[in-house]
Amino acid sequence: MELQLDHLILNVNDREKSIEFYTQVLGMTCEGQREGTPFSVIRVTPGMILQLAPFGTKGGEHLAFCVTRSEFDRALARIRERGVEYGDSFDTVGNMRGPGDSGGAKGAGKSIYLFDPSRHLIEFICYDAA
């Protein structure tokens, strides 16, 4: 059996700030609000979406996004341009260093970490730079 993650519902505190973060900082696409639901749809890949739920949260979820080296470099440039704090490991967000070494589903990679507006820990990892 082959399983693939289709969507994830992510509780957020401020829908508009979260949409701006995931689109303008991380480079994803907002597809609007899902009809008949409170969810705003963020397209991550052709086969995966985030559904932002405006139910409030204390944060603390960890989402790791695998990207190519060129996507990684573009994301890091947007993060720096906007003055978003980042770090080279999960516990050093704000040290403005990176990328750091980390591991994920495909083995060793290079990562940066930052918080979204709801204090969820976001990781960008690329394997072709390891």
Residue 2 in any domain: the answer is no
Residue 21 in any domain: the answer is yes
pLDDT, tens digit, 9 for 90 and up, residues 68-104: 999 999 999 999 999 999 999 999 999 999 999 999 9
CATH number at residue 98: 3.10.180.10
| SS3 category, 103 | strand
| Two tokens, residue 9 | 């519902």
Domains: count for the chain: 1
* Average confidence (pLDDT) over 9-21: 97
What is the model's pTM? 0.93
| SS3 category, 118 | coil
Domain boundaries, position 82:
7-126
Q: Which residues contact 121 (CB under 8 A, 6 or more apart)?
A: 59, 60, 61, 62, 63, 90, 93, 113, 114, 115
* Band (129; pLDDT cuts 50, 70, 90): low
Residue 1 in any domain: the answer is no
Q: Which residues contact 74 (CB under 8 A, 6 or more apart)?
A: 27
* Band (128; pLDDT cuts 50, 70, 90): confident
C-beta separation of 87 from 94 below 8 A: yes
